[in-house]
Structure 1
Amino acid sequence: MSTLSQHPEVQNPDNTDAISNSTKVDLSTLKPAPTSEIPSQQSHEESHDDPSPSPTPKKPFILLRAWKKLGITPLVFMIMVKPAISAVIAMGIYQKHSVAVNYLNLGYLIIIISIITVPILPRGKYLMNLFLCLSLTCFGCGMVYLGIWAGVKARQHTTPSDAPLSVAHGYNSSASVVNAIFLMVNMFGINTLRASRVSLKIPAIHYTIFTLVGFTYGPQQATVEHARRFTKELLYAFLTGQAISTGVALLIIPVSSRKVFFGGAIGFLQSCRGLLKTQLAFVRALKHSKMCDPRSTGDSTIDTADEDRIRTDQRAIFNKKLIALKTASTGILLQGAKLRDDVIFAKRETAYGKLTETDIQHIYQFLREIMIPISGLSTIGDIAERMGEEKNAPNSASGTNTEGLFQDERKEWLEMIDTVHGSFDNMIQVLDESILHILISLRFMPAPAAKSEDVEKGPADPQPGQIGFGDYLQQKIEEFREQRSTHLRLWAEERGLSSVFQTTTKNYTSLPTEAKPNGLSPEATAREVSASKRLHVILYMEYLLYSVSMAVLKLVRFAETKSSDGTFDKKRIIVPKLKTVFKWVRGLINGEDTDPTANVDQSAGAEPVYLGDSFQAPRDPEHLPAKTRWQVIGNYIRVIPRFLGSDSVRFGVRVTIAVMSIAVMCYVRQTHRFFVRQRIVWCLIMIAIGMNPSSGSAVFILVGNLVVTFTGMIGAYINWYIVDQKTAGVIVLFPFFLMFYFYFVAKFPRFLIPIVAGCLAHVLIIGYELQVRVIGLEAATATGQPYYPTYKLAPYRLLTVGAGVVVAYIWTIFPVPITEASVLRRDLGGSLFMLAKYLSSVTATVDLRLSDEGGDASLPSSPLRRLEKLTRKFLEKEVVLLNSMRQNLAFVPWEPKVGGDFPTKIYTALVEEVQNVTNYLTIIAYASESFPTARAKSPWLAQFASHRSSSDHESHKVTTLLALLSASLANGQALPPYLQAPTGFRISDELTSDGGTVLDLRNLNEPGFRAIAVIEVAQRCVVGSSERIVDLARELVGELDFSYSVGNPSGSSTLLGTGTDGKERVD
């Protein structure tokens, strides 16, 4: 960690993750790559063989051991300390009477607001959050004053002028009704807004507390002067809390959004180093996969118990390496998703630094180019497993082979793996040094001490941080490509393979044996297919590693440019561009999830291009496109009922009903005094901020809130009585309790809401008791609230908060529960339809890049540019849906079980297959990005494109399949009968009969050849995953099939007497 202090804008790497809630995944479950996997920069010459035993190291001090055991990193410490400091400052200044008189009974709100303004956010996020909190607070102040003023006027109009003071200032039904109406309208509006705009979640809590406190105490305000004074005190309390939080956020352990992004970039690059080592270990373990299991090839000579035990141990090694690879790859993807949100705030921030907004954007783009291929390498394990399953399938080609035909396959595969491992080992070592060079050049790490050169050995290779390392990396990449090409050619020639694709194309395999070029028998052809598939896997691995190398080379060149052009020589004031500010404002108004067509540039004067329906706005099946002005106006009017029927409005109505079910006590004569005396307003606050749209998370929050609030009550008892109720002792001890609460927030983010609820219970109890001591008992009871000592107040606080949590849960499941299961099924249906869009857009993108008909991608008006934008948009939405489905799966066990069990395994498998298809489609799109450059370097790709058949539409069948599956799952309807996934969705299947030689191995080094091989492998995996999705969906919703069978269900007879099997499944 100390190495990071050298960077001009990164002083603490553990602040990299400083409260970025963009990735809706629990990052605490992921472990960083082991430090042993990251090679040390010390030379081997420093090690020595000293036979003398080293002294036993002393154990560290007990506090240091405890600190390390608790995992209190600088990030965790910052999350613990900053809220505690805010709260103790607010509590401390309120102890002075001249300060307290400005807030009277609302002083404890200062402490609460100083905490929920979230001072632990990075500077950019905090300032945006503060701006929204201030805006909504001021707007809420205006609404509260308007509502109370209207209530006062209603009181005056319904109270006789000669009424006694007890009547004139007592309960008034008209004033209560007016305040109740204002409360309902504001609760509905803010909760609808909170559900539709994620960025307003924290400001909405401020607005909710302000309006609830204002409109529940509003009926007591008898005059306009009382209303004005009450509203002013409430506003001052909020503004003071926000001001204290701002001072702590900006002055105490300050964390800028730029620092968070730079720290995230450091963590991403360091994780890449560990991931490359993990991938190298997995390549070595490929020899233990199903793909080279002797038993799967028909060799019956190996069937002893010892061999079974050895095979089991080998499979365990393979599975262990595969799990480690998937875990590391998942961590990389999560870090990449977090970087995507961090870069937005880093670009918006005004700073005094060295790297500009454009530099930050370039760094992010280079990191994203690294992320796709390096995470794609994790799919090798899935591909190997699929090939092993194909060999074990009853209808596989190898099943008809004579015994011993493939007896040398394992030996061939092991030789191949050993050679690949050696080449990968050298290249990964160079990439590891390259990443270190990037960190040094960008001043993320200090440069190592220069070593003296050995004159006798001649000039050594450039070391990380030295000039010319980029040229050294480029040379190593070219050597790696040439070495691998030479080996693959020799390996193929030894086995008589002339084309890696030859035996997988329809036009070749459909020929009879005597018509094939080599006249191979079916057995020999099956072996050639197996060898060809393995060659595909090797090409797939090589291409992805080569792509990682080229992406790292781009970042190396960028870092060297910035290191040499004087960027790091001095700091300068950096201001965001106006375009960035406008995009932020537009996103704040329209929401982050805008319509995809908003990203499609419509440039005037461009060449007319006919675009598909997906480029246009979605069609309305109930209305034709508007033709007249009145019809256009009618379309705008129809937006209103569409909005009122949205999910966010439904949630707003549900929260409003829940709040008013308890708030009605405040506006009824018989229960008004009880409501005020027992502080039921905090029950309303817990209802409003604790409600969730689904029942699974509601149960989780219900249990968590009750348990943690009880813990907060116990903590308040200890805080108050352990120091003998002395004010100084209470204040001194108070921040340690808050640090205790927020320690668990840092370590277990998913428990954020319950932990904050317990913390607020503690604050309410201690803050109120100290407030009474400052302002006096008479002022404390002026609002009608009796004074309770701590031992009585704490249980009352617990009961009010607990009642609010229970009521929130009741109105979550009543009258119609929105279960996690229903949300999951809906999201799964939407995810499949989004996947169909993504597949269609990726296929169209590949076609445009192959045919070179998409125009210049740098021009906003080109069809290829528009298509690329939509493709990225579909991918982002698909990732969001996948994260949402995983969260819902985690909450499903918390739902009340009524009826049969939820098919968790099937849904988990479906989510994983959707993730697999998304991964492979992303790799296809990434591989096709090299086509324009390849076409410019060599005519081979143009020749390949000219031999493609334009009448092959197998890819569209997969899109149709996914759309049908989406509709069935979303609506809970049975699948159409006889639904199967197409088997010909491969790019080599599209070649015409005269294009067979274009895929000969002599073209291995042609630009684009390996990219075609990668697309071929990924397309085959897409088809395999589609087949699995069909089978899993059929288990969930069934199939539209009225056939019947007698005795044998596999041979069904239909009413039409065809006797065909309509229930055949694709395995």
Structure 2
Amino acid sequence: MASPTPELHNNGRNNNPRINLESSPGSLRANNNACLDSRNSPTPLVNNETNSHPTPAPSIFKRAWSKLGIDRTVAALVFKGALAPLIATAIYQSKSVAEIYVNFGYLIIVVSILAVPILPRGKFMMNMSISVLLTCLAMAMVLLGQYAGIKARQNTTPAGALPDIALGYNSSAAAVNAIFLMFNLFGINTLRAARPAFSIPAVGYNIFVLLGFTYGPQMATITSSLRFSKELFYSFLTGQAIGSGVSLLIFPISSRKVFFGEAAGFLQSCRGLLKSQVAFVEALEYSQMECAPHPNTRLASGGVSETDHADDNQTEESENTRLYNQRASSLKASSAALLALAGKLRDDVVFAKREIAFGHFQSNHIHEMHRLFMDILIPIVGFSTITDISERLNYRFCTDTEWTEELDSAAPTQTQGSWRRGESESVEWRELIRPLHASLKPFVQVLDDSILHILILLKFVPNPNKTKSKPKKPTDGAGREGASFNQDIEKGLNPGDIGFGDYLDKTIDSYRAERTENLKTWAADRGLSCIFRDSQERAHLPPNPDQGMDGRHGGSRDSRFSERIHLIFYMEYLMYSISKRILAVVRCAESRATDGTLERRQFIFPSLKTVTKLVKGLIDGEDSNPGIYKTGGVGADVQTVSLGHSLQTPKDPEHLPPKGSWQAFGDRLRVIPKFFGSDPSKFGARVTIASMSIAIMAYLHQTHMFFIEQRVVWGIVIICLGMNPTTGSAVFALITNLGTTVLATVAAFINWYIVGQKTAGIIVFLFLFLMVYFYFLVKYPRFLVAIASGAITHVLIVGYELQVRVEGIKAATSTGQAFYEIYLLAPYRLLAVGGGVIVAYIFTIFPVPITEASVLRRDLGTSLFLLANYVNSTTSTVDNRLQDKEGDMSLPSSPGRRLEKSRQDLLQKQFALQNSMRRNLSFMDWGPNFGGEFPKEMYTLIIDEVQNIINYLAVISFASETFIAARRESPSPVWLSEFAKSRPETSAEAHKTTSLLILLSASIKNGRPLPPYLDVPSDSHLSQQIHGDKADIMTFNNLNEPGFRALAAIKLAQSCMADSLSRIVDPVRELVGEVNFSYQIVDSNE
């Protein structure tokens, strides 16, 4: 949903784990650290939580390591990453090894770096498998291209030609090799843009074909071509083999271990987030009443001015505000960190299920564990939206207060009553929120113990009860050791004891019954019955000036009262849902502890379905059309479902559906122009053109020797490695790549001369410098390309000089490269790499620059369109659940399953677009800006409100699940039946939001003005307003029935969603304008 915000309080590190590489072992380090301290939370320590004995100051060494963020895991990753190129460098110092690889020994070092041995095993094996396959493909393409070039040379060389002519430059051979190079560069870079899994392997493929086809014109015989290709091929395979050995044998880290570490961190983050939520609920007492009338307009009883009291209360109010803001920021940061960690879990669970391992959990166990964790995510993050809801309600209160002041200023004698009404609202709100906090605090402590119970049973943390004492090994009643069961329920169960789930279940029921009884008593004392009060009037609308004073205040106050009641129900429903989801995880963990799963290890292999999905995903990529299903499949013959347009194949406005086999064949042919017009193809063409602008030197008679002698090919490698699709990221890459290349050149000089040019010392210092590169790679993965450019530059300089020492100058120059001492070679390497970086930037902005602004505008339009689809699918979901029309959810063809899949796909695409848009926003300051400033604030506001709508829609969809259980009760609740009847599925009002979002999307995406007189829905109509006689059935007596609190949660969520929608319309209108030909004549004298 949202990207992580700054870190929390100083002891909240569990909720914001540093994930240094995407789904890398670095995340495991942070999460394992989180698991070791079960009491960490994002709330400040209370006064009595102080150490009784002062701790000694750490040494300078420890302080430095702490400042650099180096721990055991980081040190192991840095060592592991630098070890592979160290081994490659060391083995080449042997003459027997050098004779095999000849002039490409330094490539072994480069390829061992590109293998990225620090990746978890699952990701590494997938990456290495693709790399080896692409290396074999590149070998085949180079052999084919060089063979074609040799044949072209033979066919264009006259018989009996002199050796200088027969073996020298040949334009036909050069042209053939150039064509093969262009074809391969375009293909691999298009594939790299279309399939992210090929990003790293594509770099090796680019290097292979660049070297093969730029040296290709020199190959005059088949024998020389085979010898050259074999040396190149062996160098790549050796580098990959060294990287594989280091990855699998040195500090091996499995993807399953990473997943379990992140799972432990996820649970620990949930513990901290729950504590942050309780702390914020306590601060909510002051969130609704901070906008009191101005002191000079307030009168106390007896006519005494309130100005004197204002000074006394100012300090207390500012302290309350500071506390509220501090806890709100902590809660938002905790929620964002949990979402970021959930994203990592979602990515890594795929690799954990694919991995071959020897352990406890089968892949289906991991899948179930992940599903249960994601079930917790929606309600626990949804609960965190209370920060946004409270700010909206506070804004409405402040707005109403300002209107009250304006109206009351004409009648000062009535301000006393206005002030008393404000005080009455404050007391009313505190009577609601204080008992809720008092009940939540012990209840959340039980939930915290329950999560600790899960961590202990799954062996993510040690059992503190067992470490204190070592009694006789208990059993679980079935004769199995390792699980304890405390039969004395009166004394209570400790986390880690089997049966804790029953205790949690009883606690949940007791909490719900207690809160229901408290609310019923509170409502009865005030003569209240219906949970909806003046529901048709919007709280933020100004009161009617024609009404009396009581009428003016009564309408807005009633609406605020209703919204606050709904906020209480909202929090209670989501906390109850959180507890039920945690209970489900507890049950799962206890079943794993008692069925012997955790007592035995076994070899685990991925299922055939998992492997099939892996291969299919690499070939086809992800489905670009969310929610599209074939009409066949399991259960298709059981029920017939009429699909809406969004669940069918997308329509083509230029073509009707094909009739007959010939038209179907023509439909398939149209895939070809569609492919060449796609964004990945355009990017591949840009990379190819940029590369050939330099590579053309290798195929011209006047420059081909210069190209070989000066090693210009490495400039092209940097183009392929670091070219970016947009101008802002290109400027960022230009600066960082040039900077790291210069630093790497300086480091190469230091590496060579600091040890007096001794080979052994050079290799040792090369290892140390590589550790520095990998340290920055682990800590700052954002600079991956820049760090890789620097490391490759360093290796090319030092590795080549060491290679010449082993094989001699004569062998080193046999391929046409000139030999230079390091003080000349390093600047030449720097110029080649720097030239490649600059050319990559030039062809990013030439001939037509693709700016972040244009990409951001397009993505925002797409996001609004997807949001319209998500709103519509959620509306249909609520309708189906109210009418009990979801069908058999076990059948993939049922309407409920289709809608569920559609919502999930839409949500995943929204997550990707949100991340992309925020990344482009961060690069906006880097790109060149000509003309007026980019309206960054407006785009940020729209993106944030889109994110808010997504959050509320997720809550609405989640809350509507309770209608299914309520429907299946016998008899079905009367309030639910009446509510369902009052909600027509085909109502045009229900789709106003969807229509508006599609209009906004089209205007933003195409840069066209909005139509005039846009009707912004006052409510998103995801649950119909309750009014009139129907309100009589919505009473406090129904509080304990399934789904009743969910109804109020949906009502509040849809109200906030409507507010967010209204906040989107004005910025969009400001950006694109509105069709309006009216005019006004303004007198300049006025």
* TM beyond 0.5: yes
Which residue of structure 1 aligns with residue 377 of structure 2? 371
CA contact (8 A) 1:855 1:862 kept: yes
1:257 Cα deviation after fit? 0.9
1:1018 Cα deviation after fit? 0.6
1:630 Cα deviation after fit? 1.5
Deviations along 1:655-684, whole A, 9 cap, x unmatched?
Answer: 111001011111111111111111000001
Question: Which shifted more, 113-122 or 982-991?
Answer: 982-991
Which of the numbers 843, 851, 868 marks the counterpart of 1:819? 851
Letter in 1 for 2:457: S
Q: Closer, same or farther in 2 for the Cα pair 1:570/1:217, shift >3 Å?
A: same
Letter in 2 for 1:1035: E
Q: How does 1:81-100 map to 2 (within 5 A)?
A: 81-100=79-98
CA contact (8 A) 1:930 1:1011 kept: yes
CA contact (8 A) 1:658 1:811 kept: yes
C-alpha distance in 1, partners of 2:937/2:555? 38
Q: Match of 1:1042, SS?
A: coil
Which of the numbers 795, 812, 817 marks the counterpart of 1:785? 817
Q: How does 1:11-160 map to 2 (within 5 A)?
A: 19-20=21-22, 38=40, 54=53, 57-160=55-158
Which of the numbers 569, 592, 605 marks the counterpart of 1:539? 569
Q: How does 1:946-1025 map to 2 (within 5 A)?
A: 946-950=980-984, 952-986=987-1021, 989-991=1024-1026, 993-1025=1028-1060
Q: How does 1:917-932 map to 2 (within 5 A)?
A: 917-932=949-964
% identity of equivalent residues: 50
TM-score using structure 2 length: 0.90
Letter in 1 for 2:357: A
Which residue of structure 2 aligns with residue 464 of structure 1? 495
Letter in 1 for 2:622: E
Which of the numbers 283, 301, 310 marks the counterpart of 1:285? 283
Deviations along 1:42-96, whole A, 9 cap, x unmatched?
Answer: xx9xx9999xx84x54333332222222111233223312220000000011110
Question: Which shifted more, 863-872 or 494-503?
Answer: 494-503
Which of the numbers 235, 250, 267 marks the counterpart of 1:237? 235
Q: How does 1:571-970 map to 2 (within 5 A)?
A: 571-598=601-628, 602-603=632-633, 604-937=636-969, 939-940=972-973, 942-950=976-984, 952-970=987-1005
Deviations along 1:572-609, whole A, 9 cap, x unmatched?
Answer: 11111111111111111111344335556733312111
1:985 Cα deviation after fit? 2.7
Which of the numbers 556, 559, 570 marks the counterpart of 2:589? 559
C-alpha distance in 2, partners of 1:1005/1:660? 72
Which of the numbers 195, 204, 208 marks the counterpart of 2:202? 204
Which residue of structure 1 aligns with residue 317 of structure 2? 311
Q: Closer, same or farther in 2 for the Cα pair 1:497/1:15, shift >3 Å?
A: closer
Which of the numbers 544, 558, 562 marks the counterpart of 1:528? 558
CA contact (8 A) 1:761 1:798 kept: yes
Question: Which shifted more, 395-404 or 537-546?
Answer: 395-404
Letter in 2 for 1:1018: A
CA contact (8 A) 2:293 2:401 kept: no
Letter in 1 for 2:969: K
Q: Closer, same or farther in 2 for the Cα pair 1:823/1:244, shift >3 Å?
A: same
Q: Match of 1:716, SS?
A: helix
Which of the numbers 321, 343, 349 marks the counterpart of 2:349? 343
1:483 Cα deviation after fit? 1.4
Q: How does 1:167-566 map to 2 (within 5 A)?
A: 167-291=165-289, 293-295=291-293, 300-301=298-299, 304-308=310-314, 310-393=316-399, 403=418, 404-450=420-466, 459-505=490-536, 523-566=553-596
Letter in 2 for 1:911: I
CA contact (8 A) 1:186 1:211 kept: yes
1:1005 Cα deviation after fit? 1.1
C-alpha distance in 1, partners of 2:716/2:1053? 53
Q: Match of 1:103, SS?
A: helix
CA contact (8 A) 2:868 2:997 kept: yes
C-alpha distance in 1, partners of 2:38/2:1042? 37
C-alpha distance in 2, partners of 1:530/1:257? 50
Deviations along 1:901-945, whole A, 9 cap, x unmatched?
Answer: 111111111110010000000111111122211222362264244
Q: Match of 1:408, SS?
A: helix
Q: Match of 2:1024, SS?
A: helix
Q: How many residues align?
A: 1021
Structure 1: state its 5+ residue gaps: 1-11, 514-519, 1052-1067
CA contact (8 A) 2:538 2:556 kept: no
Q: Match of 2:597, SS?
A: coil
Letter in 2 for 1:426: P
TM-score using structure 1 length: 0.91
Q: Closer, same or farther in 2 for the Cα pair 1:58/1:308, shift >3 Å?
A: closer
Q: Match of 2:521, SS?
A: helix
1:290 Cα deviation after fit? 4.3
1:491 Cα deviation after fit? 2.4
Q: Closer, same or farther in 2 for the Cα pair 1:598/1:141, shift >3 Å?
A: farther
C-alpha distance in 2, partners of 1:984/1:917? 13
Q: Match of 1:981, SS?
A: coil
CA contact (8 A) 1:214 1:231 kept: yes
C-alpha distance in 2, partners of 1:1031/1:508? 20
C-alpha distance in 2, partners of 1:198/1:254? 24
Q: Match of 2:423, SS?
A: coil
Which of the numbers 1055, 1078, 1082 marks the counterpart of 1:1043? 1078
Q: Closer, same or farther in 2 for the Cα pair 1:873/1:22, shift >3 Å?
A: farther
Which residue of structure 2 aligns with residue 9 of structure 1? none
Letter in 1 for 2:499: G
C-alpha distance in 1, partners of 2:668/2:146? 35
Q: Closer, same or farther in 2 for the Cα pair 1:49/1:310, shift >3 Å?
A: closer
Q: Closer, same or farther in 2 for the Cα pair 1:830/1:177, shift >3 Å?
A: same
Q: Closer, same or farther in 2 for the Cα pair 1:858/1:396, shift >3 Å?
A: farther
CA contact (8 A) 2:396 2:539 kept: no
1:191 Cα deviation after fit? 0.8
1:393 Cα deviation after fit? 3.0
Letter in 2 for 1:494: D
**RMSD, aligned CA:** 3.1
Q: Match of 2:136, SS?
A: helix
CA contact (8 A) 1:268 1:335 kept: yes
Letter in 1 for 2:1030: G
Letter in 2 for 1:534: R
Q: Closer, same or farther in 2 for the Cα pair 1:340/1:531, shift >3 Å?
A: same
Q: Closer, same or farther in 2 for the Cα pair 1:711/1:865, shift >3 Å?
A: same
C-alpha distance in 2, partners of 1:100/1:322? 63
1:166 Cα deviation after fit? 2.1
Q: Closer, same or farther in 2 for the Cα pair 1:63/1:1005, shift >3 Å?
A: same
CA contact (8 A) 1:659 1:687 kept: yes
Which residue of structure 1 aligns with residue 598 of structure 2? 568
CA contact (8 A) 2:533 2:561 kept: no
Q: Match of 2:924, SS?
A: helix
1:1006 Cα deviation after fit? 1.2
Q: Closer, same or farther in 2 for the Cα pair 1:122/1:294, shift >3 Å?
A: same
